[in-house]
Structure 1
Amino acid sequence: MQAQEPHFFVYIFGDQPRENVEIGVAGNLQQLSHSKNTPAPDVSPGQPAKLVYYEHYKVQDEALTREQQLKGESRDATIHLIESMNPNWLDLSDTLDD
């Protein structure tokens, strides 16, 4: 049996532009996305958080470095990044493989 390669995801959860977003790292993005009906800590209370952006990494340190980079960027830069891939702020959790 072959060992499965590790996967690390830098993600952004949010609901819409100009609202709060949550940036983090997860090893299992599918599991995290399935729990999206529970609002993320930094997302507007009472609204389900949507997975609006993610990046895949095979090395944990690279994912953690990217997470810190994104957290250090301005709000406008974060919104521009999201909208460059997902201009309508759609929930991308449906695009993940189970």
Structure 2
Amino acid sequence: MPKRDYHNYWVYIITNKPKGVLYTGFTGGIDDRMERHNDGQGSSFTSKYRLKRLVYFEEFQYVEDAIKREKQIKNWRRQWKINLIEKSNPNWDDLWNRLDSRS
């Protein structure tokens, strides 16, 4: 992987199916993190519920902004998270396939 002049941070939501179990996470490398989730090597929670479908993400330049946003979303009610996902991804498509093909 080529060295970047800047670093991106990601806040993301994954699930096992539309309106299924939701997990909000933060990472400095979405590629590696999603590969871990897909291989069942994520957290014990994501492995237990087989959370592999990336349904929402936001990209940040500064780590502090990403951490703040992750905490904000984690404190939201479930319906607010569903509304956030459906605003940009109404069909609950797996966005990882699209991101993976950008490289």
Normalised by the length of structure 1, the TM-score is: 0.84
Q: Can you give the 5+ residue segments of structure 2 that lack an aligned partner in the other structure?
A: none
Paired residues for 1:4-43 under 5 Å:
4-37=5-38, 38=40, 41-43=44-46
SS in 1 for 2:37: coil
Deviation of the 1:15 alpha carbon:
2.3
Partner residue in 2 for 1:77: 80
SS in 1 for 2:67: helix
Extract structure 1 runs of 4+ deviating beyond 3 A: 39-48
Q: 2:70 pairs with 67, 71, 91, which one?
A: 67
Q: CA, structure 1 residues 44+87, in 2 after alignment: closer, same or farther (shift >3 Å)?
A: farther
Q: Can you give the 5+ residue segments of structure 1 that lack an aligned partner in the other structure?
A: none
Distance 1:67 1:86 in 2: 19
Normalised by the length of structure 2, the TM-score is: 0.80
Q: 2:57 pairs with 54, 58, 61, which one?
A: 54
Deviation of the 1:13 alpha carbon:
0.6
More helix by share: 2
